[in-house]
């Protein structure tokens, strides 16, 4: 029995050796290169050693994939550029098939990989960075930015709805003829110096029509206004009501409700092209906007004659050199009335002025006129102005709700955008050309 067992074992060994020889002869007789497309690396074009397959279907040597990742720092396929997630593993099926189809080449490549200390270090770094890699900063930043923009847009839409249907908006839009005694009371309250006559208004039940029909005798009878100076002041205010037909705005929100298109144009223009906007107010709104802004900047008195030459020169320098600082000073002096909103305007003006300073320094210090891109900058500036004018022309046909959303979005979202732009510029401060970008 022992002899028979030994004979059978020898016969099995011979049969196994014959199978291997036959398999090698088959591979030599057939062109095995036709399988290289499926089992080869798409980078080195050799048989893939430690073959690693990605989600896109391409297979690479693990060392080739590691070198690509450490060079590009991107989790993307080297061939098609499709991104992959997680930690790619060795494809055991392709490895086993490659070992059967290319036994000699696989042994040689694996032996070289084992002997190369540099390749081992690269693979260790690749595995360590992939496993310890934190979420992409750009992805996280985009996600946080999306959440922030969504909240801000929702806030702007809510503010639009609130002011659109609030009593303030309806009061400024209501004609004087339809005023109730409570509206007359609110109007007298806004004049501040007529508080002692409000009680008389309530007692006499004075509405809008009665208010418009009043003269000096009526003021004495209904409001008990005996002083001539107060009579003239109150009659002048009633005369303005007759001319305008509605209550003139006394607060920021009333002004926005009465002149939405003008406010949208000013808010957007003072942020994007403040010098042109100041010139525009000088041409078309001299008494309403330009002169009060200049007097506020010069800290002058209420009469235009008190602004001397030095005040005008100082204002002109502000307009030419630092127009955002001009906006800053005007808004800062009004923060006591509209604290939150004007504080946002103040912050935005300060950030815009800081952002503009490097550009001014680059423009005047750089001797290379080609780098200044004057023609390109002028064309871009002209396109922005054209877009603003088209918006101002077409805003009457745009729904009021949409105009209000744009207004509040520019007012409240713009500081965040300017801050991010300033932060990116600050991160690029090691680059000598950062101020030109």
Per-residue pLDDT tens digits for 236-248: 877 887 777 777 7
CATH number at residue 35: 3.30.40.10
State both tokens at 284: 């078309």
Please indicate, yes or no, whether residues 260 and 238 belong to a single structural domain of this protein: no
| Parent domain of 13 | 1-29
Per-residue pLDDT tens digits for 134-173: 555 555 566 666 776 777 667 666 666 665 555 555 566 6
**Burial environment of residue 333 by CB neighbours within 10 A (0 to 12, 13 to 18, 19 or more):** middle
Please indicate, yes or no, whether residues 283 and 379 belong to a single structural domain of this protein: yes
For residue 431, give the H/E element and its range.
none
- Would residue 52 count as lying in a domain? yes
- Would residue 80 count as lying in a domain? yes
Please indicate, yes or no, whether residues 363 and 426 belong to a single structural domain of this protein: yes
For residue 59, give the H/E element and its range.
strand 59-61
60 touches 42 (CB < 8 A): yes
- Would residue 153 count as lying in a domain? no
Structural domains counted in the chain: 4
Please indicate, yes or no, whether residues 116 and 201 belong to a single structural domain of this protein: no
Please indicate, yes or no, whether residues 110 and 15 belong to a single structural domain of this protein: no
> Which residues lie across from 27 on neighbouring strands?
none
- Distance, C-alpha 258 to centroid of its chain: 29
Please indicate, yes or no, whether residues 24 and 35 belong to a single structural domain of this protein: no
Report the C-alpha gap between 406 and 157 in whole angstroms.
9
244 touches 252 (CB < 8 A): no
Please indicate, yes or no, whether residues 351 and 398 belong to a single structural domain of this protein: yes
Report the C-alpha gap between 194 and 354 in whole angstroms.
44
**Whole-number Cα distances in Å, 116 to 43, 98, 111, 124:** 19, 21, 9, 13
Task: Give me the chain's average pLDDT, please.
Answer: 72
23 confidence band (pLDDT: 50, 70, 90): very low
363 confidence band (pLDDT: 50, 70, 90): low
Q: What is the pTM of this model?
A: 0.50
**Whole-number Cα distances in Å, 157 to 151, 319, 339:** 10, 33, 20
> Which residues lie across from 90 on neighbouring strands?
52
Please indicate, yes or no, whether residues 63 and 195 belong to a single structural domain of this protein: no
- Would residue 127 count as lying in a domain? yes
Please indicate, yes or no, whether residues 56 and 105 belong to a single structural domain of this protein: yes
State both tokens at 288: 């309403």
- Would residue 172 count as lying in a domain? no
- Would residue 286 count as lying in a domain? yes
Report the C-alpha gap between 200 and 224 in whole angstroms.
8
Q: CA-based Rg of the chain, rounded to a whole angstrom?
A: 39
């Amino acid at each position: 029995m022992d002899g028979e067992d030994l004979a059978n074992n020898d016969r099995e060994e011979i049969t196994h050796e014959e199978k291997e020889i036959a398999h090698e002869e088959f591979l030599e007789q057939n062109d095995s290169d036709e399988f290289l497309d499926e089992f080869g690396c798409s980078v080195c074009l050799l048989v893939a050693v430690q073959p690693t397959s990605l989600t896109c279907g391409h297979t690479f040597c693990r060392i080739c994939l590691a070198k690509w990742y450490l060079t590009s720092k991107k989790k993307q396929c080297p061939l098609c550029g499709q991104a992959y997630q997680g930690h790619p593993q060795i494809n055991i099926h392709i490895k086993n098939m490659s070992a059967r189809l290319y036994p000699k080449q696989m042994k040689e490549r694996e032996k070289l990989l084992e002997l190369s200390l540099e390749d081992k270090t690269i693979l260790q770094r690749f595995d360590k960075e992939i496993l310890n890699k934190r979420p992409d900063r750009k992805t996280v930043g985009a996600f946080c930015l999306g959440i922030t923009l969504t909240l801000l847009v929702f806030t702007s839409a809510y503010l639009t709805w609130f002011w659109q249907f609030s009593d303030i908006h309806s009061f400024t839009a209501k004609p004087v003829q339809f005023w109730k005694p409570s509206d007359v009371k609110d109007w007298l309250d806004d004049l501040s110096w007529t508080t002692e006559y409000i009680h008389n208004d309530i007692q006499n039940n004075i509405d809008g029509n009665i208010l418009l029909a009043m003269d000096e005798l009526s003021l004495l009878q209904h409001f008990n206004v005996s002083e001539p100076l107060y009579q003239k002041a109150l009659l002048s205010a009633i005369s303005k009501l007759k001319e305008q037909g509605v209550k003139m705005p006394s607060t920021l929100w009333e002004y926005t409700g009465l002149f939405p298109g003008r406010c949208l144009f000013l808010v957007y223009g003072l942020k994007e092209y403040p010098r042109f906007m100041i010139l525009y107010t000088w041409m078309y709104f001299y008494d309403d906007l330009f002169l009060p802004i200049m007097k506020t900047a010069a800290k002058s008195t209420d009469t235009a004659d008190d602004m001397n030459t030095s005040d005008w020169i100082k204002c002109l320098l502000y307009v030419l050199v630092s127009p955002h600082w001009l906006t800053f000073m005007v808004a800062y002096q009004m923060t006591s009335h509209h604290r939150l909103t004007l504080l946002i305007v103040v912050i935005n003006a300060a950030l815009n002025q800081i952002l503009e300073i490097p550009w001014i320094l680059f423009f005047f210090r750089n001797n290379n006129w080609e780098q200044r891109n004057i023609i390109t900058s002028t064309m871009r500036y002209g396109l922005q102005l054209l877009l603003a004018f088209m918006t101002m022309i077409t805003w009457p046909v745009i729904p009021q709700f949409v105009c209000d959303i744009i207004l509040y979005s520019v007012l409240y979202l713009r500081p965040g955008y300017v801050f991010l732009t300033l932060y990116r510029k600050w991160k690029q401060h090691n680059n000598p050309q950062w101020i030109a970008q």
